[in-house]
Structure 1
Amino acid sequence: MTILEELEDLIRARYPILYVVSGEETRVDAAVAGLAQRLGKQVLEWSCTTGLVPAGTSLQSQKYRHAATREPLAALDLVLDHVEPALFVFKDLPPYLNRSQPAVTRRLKEIARHLKDSLKTILLVAPSLELPAELEKEVTVVHFPLPTRDDLGALLDRVIREVEPSGQVEVDLDEAGRERLLQAALGLTLNEAENVLARILVRHRCLSAEQVPEFLAEKRQLIRKNGLLEYYDTVESFATVGGLAALKDWLVKRGAAFTPAARAYGLPPPRGLLLLGVQGCGKSLCAKAAANAWQVPLLRFDMGRMFGSLVGSSEENVRRAIQVAESVAPAVLWVDEIDKAFAGTQGSTFSDAGTTARVLGTFLTWLSEKTAPVFVVATANDISQLPPELLRKGRFDDLFFVDLPEAAERAEIFAIHIARHGRDPAAFDLPVLAAASGDFSGAEIAEAVISALYEGFSRGEELRTEHVLLALRETVPLARTMSEHLQRLRDWATGRARPASRRAGT
């Protein structure tokens, strides 16, 4: 059932008060106007600046304006006095529904009983739900969804029809390019998407799939306004991830699930994966590379930002962060070091009155029940800190173990980081470097290259293999310092998690 069908059913069934949760007043107005025309009803709108006026009244017009109806009680009295079938759209009323103005709440309760026997319906429109307990039994809440792919497609077609005749804008969109643009626009309101298209036309004088980053920039603004999630701009790609061939292949296949062909095939959106392994071996790097390869926003879910001092605020912050992630979907939600975020849930009742346990419960329920295309990448270093309920099937698509790189992978990592600093990897003895860096993680290899650069610069010499070897000899890798912990991690992962790398002979 579509949102329009749901609204029509509720109006025809004489539900007295509908609370439409949406930040898109223009879309709601258009939907209500269409329903009113189909049902043969008038539409009147109320705001705190215009009062109660017929829908579509110009801001400059004074013909239907009555200053007295700017007060909520006066406007509600007019609803009672109105005789003909009508839909009343109240846009600024929810802020008045508080304990400081009990008369407005009481009046709505009284009107609700009257409207059940009439052909009139009140629609409260607001971007968030603010409903006092006194009205919970009288009001029906309807969540107005963000534009669908078809809605955005209609907007794109309209923009193209408007700009093509001028000849001043080049439109270079095949079916695949159009799909990429629409995929990037999902999660935006129609107004936001139209603004992005206008900015593209002004800035580039061209409309093509190459403008996908413009839509991602708009989503970055949405994330920054909320403050609970961090938006990460990333230039990483699978080419800058050394080794981890099995994990990269898995991610490439899941990325194809966002395409129309995958939807037609019946593929569900991928849910996510849990990456367990040694620090500095590329777990977080893979999250960044996946988001960049799939051309979707990368959002970092920092559990430390979720916890608040007020009772219930932590759980509410998690729900708000999830809503934001879903509102800009498709997206990658990166939960870094999830083992530390949920450490101590067993003793949460005694340490923080159960707050951590409740936050975990909220997050786990969403992982199991989510339908929005939000791909979750959770990373962990210590499996003993993870609650067992997080590991069950249905939360994540798969569990990968990221081990220390083997010799061939280390050579690949050296080549990536040497090239990143403007040197030709072919000028270095990569097999020798790989052999000298046993037990080194990818992060430690990257740091060794940087140390070698400092060494070469201090000597006034060009970077050479000898400088890197010196840096390696002066470094004690973490895997040797914490060898017992690493072995326990490997023992646990054997038979329980898929290896992220293709080992020799596999």
Structure 2
Amino acid sequence: MKRLKEEMSLSIRARYPLLYLVTSEEARAEEMLEGIAQSSRKELIVWSLSKGLMPSRYGDKQDNDPEAVLKHIEASEKKAIFVLRDFHPFLEKEIVLRHLRDLIAHLKKSYKTVVLVSPVLKIPPELEKDITVFDLPLPDAKELTSILNNLLEPYRDSDKVRIDLPPELLEKVVQATLGLTRNEAENVFAKALITGRQFGWDDLPSIIEEKKQLIRKSGILDFIGLSTQLNQVGGLDKLKAWLKERGRAFSVKAREYGLPEPKGLLMLGVQGCGKSLAAKAIAAEWNLPLLRLDVGKIFDSFVGSSEDNMRKAIQQAEAMSPAILWLDEIEKGFSGIQSSGSVDSGTTARIFATFLTWMQEKTKPVFVIATANNVEDLPPELLRKGRFDEIFFIDLPQESERATIFDIHIRLKQREPNKFDIAALAKAADQFSGAEIEQSILSAMYRAFAEDREFTSDDVVQEIGRTVPLAVTAEEKIQYLRDWARHRARPAS
């Protein structure tokens, strides 16, 4: 915000005639422009289609006609910054465009500047050489901290509201609201405050959930709720230890220590062994919003739209940072890269190149989690050092891990594990994946429910016996995957 203010102030002093400020936060933009106007000893005059010139004393009359306001600006002798709200639709009218081009030549010789403020960037070719575009950044951590403190200040000595906001929680709350506008942040803070008449650690997940509204508006990314905890993932002890080491790495304290933010993680392995579950659990463990990028939603039939969708998805993820961006089965999303030039005019290759470049050069704390089942379909560029912090291989669970998985799933079904022979179940389910273990429990429950009784260990063992696991039907493919990962990836267990 400070840098933008300096750049716009310099442009106005240099008599740039026409500036375009892209933002949906009119009030915040005009507060900044008011400060620039005061420092440059100019007046700030605002026009909108609904209200005309404001304050009305700045014009001979309060006129809401776009042609009339351009004529008024040209005739005005004031040293002023004229703000035109949502002027972009009128740029399609030939007469308005011609008036504006005539005005530009006049403004260069005056102490007047026109600033178009709009959430939509729409520049006609005729104005490309004469207009300067700026983007109003979303509130940073410092501004959000100020917003939160201002909201909580009246309640700090109140008996009706309990505020428990140590520095570590304050930093987490502010991080959770990065990517919101000022109004959105104020609404989220106020909602958290009045919901339980307190402000503490319990409010953090609900604040993150509020970001779901932003993602729904974009339509490109999916927001995944924080529903799965890391203790609901059986096994994967080495992966969990690695995650716990990096859990605090998104904090200011980590930056002061000299650590960069973690870049990302590639999890590859056997289907149904918990890769997707682990991705969801990481977000809950780190209290970060989880955004899923469905590559299929990126592709569009119009030329250039697919590449633009990828850039929008990246911008959305960065606006929500710190956040986790999850690409499930990434090899399928970017399949056909080698033949992209002849199949889709290179669209897939260009989208993949944009994503790879961003992964390598990104400066915002967006942690990328990619999962894959078929390593032979992964583009070699994706596996190069620097894309991810680590590559983990998730194999079929060992017997002790299968016991943990049975314990977890039986508890999730509202049953007591000590009423089941967990050791016998784990031994019987040799070469079963986590998903196959869950399905064997569900099948046993369906059978017992149909017979109007409670399911038992024997029911589960019978269902295990009826199932041919993927480790048998796809034995050669799984062995190839193990051989590949032996010297190229870290074991998750």
Range of TM-score over shorter length: over 0.9
The AA in structure 2 aligned to 1:215 is I
Change (3 A) 1:180 1:102: same
TM-score after normalising by structure 1: 0.93
Residue of structure 1 aligned with 2:440, choices 441, 445, 448? 448
Question: What does residue 241 of structure 1 align with?
Answer: 233
* Partners of 1:451 and 1:116 in 2: CA distance: 77
Question: What does residue 176 of structure 1 align with?
Answer: 168
Question: What does residue 359 of structure 2 align with?
Answer: 367
Instruction: Write the deviation string for residues 202-251 of structure 1: whole angstroms up to 9, x where unpaired.
Output: 32222223212332232101111121111112321110011111112222
Change (3 A) 1:247 1:137: same
* Partners of 1:456 and 1:83 in 2: CA distance: 87
* Partners of 2:407 and 2:193 in 1: CA distance: 40
> What are the within-5 Å matches in structure 2 for residues 154-193 of structure 1?
154-164=146-156, 167-193=159-185
Residue of structure 2 aligned with 1:153, choices 145, 149, 152? 145
State whether structure 2 residue 228 is matched by structure 1 residue 227. Answer: no
Question: What does residue 63 of structure 2 align with?
Answer: 69
Contact persistence 1:243–1:409 (CA under 8 A): yes
Identity of aligned residues (%): 49
TM-score after normalising by structure 2: 0.95
Contact persistence 2:51–2:62 (CA under 8 A): no
Question: What does residue 29 of structure 1 align with?
Answer: 30
State whether structure 2 residue 462 is matched by structure 1 residue 470. Answer: yes
* Partners of 1:229 and 1:66 in 2: CA distance: 49
Shift of residue 255 of structure 1?
A: 2.3
Change (3 A) 1:418 1:24: same
* Partners of 1:320 and 1:28 in 2: CA distance: 22
Residue of structure 2 aligned with 1:90, choices 79, 84, 94? 84
* Partners of 2:300 and 2:140 in 1: CA distance: 34
Q: Secondary structure at the match of 1:255?
A: coil
Question: What does residue 190 of structure 2 align with?
Answer: 198
Moved more, 105-114 or 351-360: 105-114
Instruction: Write the deviation string for residues 314-339 of structure 1: whole angstroms up to 9, x where unpaired.
Output: 11122222222222222211111110
The AA in structure 2 aligned to 1:434 is A
Residue of structure 2 aligned with 1:319, choices 304, 307, 311? 311
Question: What does residue 13 of structure 1 align with?
Answer: 14
Shift of residue 283 of structure 1?
A: 0.7
Question: What does residue 59 of structure 1 align with?
Answer: none
Shift of residue 398 of structure 1?
A: 1.7
Contact persistence 1:51–1:65 (CA under 8 A): no
Moved more, 476-485 or 320-329: 320-329
* Partners of 2:293 and 2:309 in 1: CA distance: 11
The AA in structure 2 aligned to 1:74 is A
* Partners of 2:141 and 2:23 in 1: CA distance: 18
| RMSD (Å) for aligned C-alpha atoms | 1.9
Shift of residue 266 of structure 1?
A: 2.4
Contact persistence 2:82–2:115 (CA under 8 A): yes
Question: What does residue 132 of structure 2 align with?
Answer: 140
> What are the within-5 Å matches in structure 2 for residues 89-108 of structure 1?
89-98=83-92, 101-108=93-100
Flag structure 2 segments of 5+ consecutive residues without an equivalent: none
Question: What does residue 504 of structure 1 align with?
Answer: none
* Partners of 1:343 and 1:201 in 2: CA distance: 47
* Partners of 1:177 and 1:310 in 2: CA distance: 45
Q: Secondary structure at the match of 1:410?
A: helix
* Partners of 2:258 and 2:243 in 1: CA distance: 18
Change (3 A) 1:166 1:240: closer
Contact persistence 2:324–2:368 (CA under 8 A): yes
Moved more, 31-40 or 128-137: 128-137
Instruction: Write the deviation string for residues 355-383 of structure 1: whole angstroms up to 9, x where unpaired.
Output: 21122122222222222222111111111
The size of the alignment, in residue pairs, is 492
Shift of residue 63 of structure 1?
A: 5.5
Contact persistence 1:51–1:66 (CA under 8 A): no
